[in-house]
A and B are shown apart, each in its own frame.
Chain A
């Protein structure tokens, strides 16, 4: 019993979810594609580790053994066609092994057909606007008040006392569990970018262009992200919060939002 809980504690400790302060790795996320993205990332990473061990290993052996101080006489070879062919061909093969799964994931990422919900996301300097197309609700989403007060230069407030400092908003984006959510992104002014790491999607919001991306969250929870394209002085102060809730809770939320909805000026 004690062994089991110790073991599970150890595994928990080693996972990326624990000890957020010292997080070493990206999250696996809560969508099918976020898991595929994570797997691709780890695959390339391990390939790099393997190649690094091989190359640095040879280097270190050489640095230790092939020293003038050890009385070594330098060899005189200058080239080898075989070596060049081998160490060109092997990397090409390795790259092809990486490219195939990467291409497969890319195709899936771009497939935003047949969504359950469509939301128009408009980026502003320095907040987001969300407009649910079918539900007829819309609202601005800005940095939450506690963060606004703490963020000022020499505010006197310790950021560690603010919950989700710089990652909290007044009105989050709420979506139902298991629904394919399509986002249509644009901007009212400069280029911004919408990013939530646990959904593994990031897409630029460009004025004059409508970009498209989608996600389907498999776990209830609150997922936080930030603007990911320099957009002016408050680029670091326009976070994104997505709340994935059960279907009933989502419908109830839509009703409360219908009571107080703000549209983008000139929009339907």
Chain B
């Protein structure tokens, strides 16, 4: 037995990482792959952010100053595609890769080689997507929603758009399969499902959503491809097809997609608030049921994106009622977070600040969401800046702040050093102030009648647009502080294993930084029980 083992390990040097570029290209290590996802996502965040700066520069004053309308439409389209598929989703997958095995006592993800491919597809996909900026006809400019017939007017970029969406989808599906198989099969013996941390729970639910809906998106964009090149008429009225059918198929994917982008955020915040309140998460089981309810309901509300498309009255009523219902489990989660804080002993380190801002500002996004659910009122909000305000509130001080909260929270565990807390707080306050300056006025713009996706506007919309553009510059520049915090993390003081006084969970019983391989033997029952809340 010893001989066989010794032979197999001959090439290894104490199970440390490989040297050189091969370590990253061929990695099957969940920590390295998690790191690559996070770095990729941060890079894409800046690429998408640069596009946002083009948009906000043009919109800072009426009249067309900098770009042609076609290019402006490409900017709004690519900004969304990159932020959704290149920044937010990969960031959560990166956090999942790093933390799920650590939190459940598993040595790695269940399918480490598939994990590698899940990551490496992404730079290829985005290379293809970004290359369309240089193609005749320009990058896709039909909105990230890709509605036909307009999307079929895309130039040479069209098949590359479809191909890159397929690649992103394959990456997500493989990642989701990996998450489910890991969580179901590789938990430490004492960790029953209901004993799992909330971050793991929300990722389990998110993974099921991904597997359910990414193939639907793939189907939708394949039908676009065949309509364009292979003579089908799925969405072309002249051939007997229906443009509205695309919208149904797209949003059947699209609505669960937005919950895919927020559920892991709920998980992160549910880890952080108890730690810094020094109090267990209030209503843990209720939080699990609420997250599951949200996931289930997310499948039956899609047409609230289509209230003006000409739906029968009964359809509008059903989707209005179902959409309003989602407010209930979402509210339950907010109340549970507040109850966790209540009569705790709070301190306000950077992860907690981002998590608290999340609760406040995501709730505001939730309120505008409830208003949007009211179908007759939505007639006035649909396709206006009111919608833009809503989804940016739930995505930026929602998802993005949760990602940053998670990054600050777990960075000492990953690097073994405390990041610069003063700079972290500066990043937080700067981001929070500017994110509100950017997106709050958009509520007013939408109510005042400004439509979406226009490069120029009537002069009565000037003042709030200028304010939003100033906010955008401030928010963008603030993110450079984040980069500096990360790059200088290794200069900080050494981090303890526990890092944060009130933390609980298996990851905090491991050394900081975590060794390259962890939980090669599952955690003992005693340690496991100690770590649980």
Contact = CB atoms under 8 A, between A and B. Distances in A.
Interface of A: 20-27, 33, 36-37, 40-41, 44-45, 48, 51-52, 55-56, 58-59, 62-63, 66-69, 72-80, 83-84, 87-88, 91-92, 95, 98-99, 102-103, 105-107, 109-110, 150-155, 157-160, 162, 164-167, 189-191, 193, 195, 197, 200-204, 206-209, 211-212, 225-237
Contact of B463 (A21, A62, A77, A159): A21
Given A98-B374, A212-B310, 11 more contacts: A23-B447, A67-B345, A80-B282, A102-B375, A152-B64, A159-B63, A159-B459, A193-B308, A200-B379, A233-B68, A236-B456
B346 interface: yes
Contacts of A48: 367, 370-371
Contact of A106 (B143, B285, B317): B317
B335 A208 contact: no
A87 B331 contact: yes
25 contacts: A23-B448, A25-B444, A48-B367, A48-B370, A52-B367, A56-B363, A62-B338, A63-B346, A67-B346, A79-B286, A88-B332, A99-B324, A103-B320, A105-B376, A153-B65, A154-B65, A155-B63, A160-B62, A191-B147, A191-B149, A195-B383, A204-B309, A209-B244, A229-B383, A236-B69
A190 B150 contact: yes
Contacts of B310: 203-204, 206, 209, 211-212
A195 B347 contact: no
B238 interface: yes
Given A91-B327, A235-B453, A52 B65 contact: no
7 smallest CB-CB distances across A and B, nearest first, come from: A208-B237, A236-B454, A48-B367, A75-B343, A23-B448, A211-B310, A68-B345
A66 B345 contact: yes
Contact of B308 (A27, A107, A155, A228): A228
B62 A202 contact: no
A201 B376 CA distance: 9
A83 B375 CA distance: 31
A108 B455 CA distance: 35
A159 B286 CA distance: 55
Contacts of B142: 230
A195 B451 contact: yes
A159 to B, nearest CB: 4
A88 B308 contact: no
A75 B342 CA distance: 8
Given A204-B310, A236-B69, A79 B342 contact: no
B295 to A, nearest CB: 17
A73 B242 CA distance: 63
A66 B346 contact: yes
Contact of B332 (A21, A87, A157, A237): A87
A151 B63 contact: yes
B354 to A, nearest CB: 14
Contact of A74 (B331, B345, B449): B345
Interface SS of A by simple majority: mixed
B338 A74 contact: no
B150 A25 contact: no
Interface string B372-388: 00111101101110000
B376 A36 contact: yes
Contacts of B35: none
B232 to A, nearest CB: 15
Contacts of A25: 444, 447-448
Nearest to B69: A233
A44 B153 contact: no
B327 A99 contact: no
Given A55-B334, A87-B332, A158-B63, A236 B150 contact: no
B328 interface: yes
B425 interface: no
Given A63-B356, A155-B63, A230-B147, A202 B382 contact: yes
Contact of A102 (B359, B374, B384, B449): B374
Contact of B374 (A40, A68, A202): A40
Contacts of B282: 77-80
A214 to B, nearest CB: 13
Nearest to B344: A74
B73 interface: yes
Interface stretch (B38-46, B250-258, B273-281, B492-500): B273-281
A55 B64 CA distance: 43
B341 interface: yes
Interface string B444-478: 10011101111111111011100000000000000
B454 to A, nearest CB: 3
A158 B61 CA distance: 10
B249 interface: no
Contacts of B148: 190
Contact of B243 (A51, A73, A191): A191
A106 B67 CA distance: 41
B379 A37 contact: yes
A153 B70 CA distance: 12
Contact of A68 (B278, B341, B382): B278
A105 B64 CA distance: 39
A95 B459 contact: no
Contacts of B382: 202, 228
A154 B64 contact: yes
A103 B279 contact: no
B314 to A, nearest CB: 10
B342 A66 contact: yes
A228 B313 contact: no
Contacts of B451: 195, 226-228, 236
A33 B377 CA distance: 11
Contacts of A206: 237, 243-244, 309-310
B339 interface: yes
Contacts of A107: 313
B341 A59 contact: yes
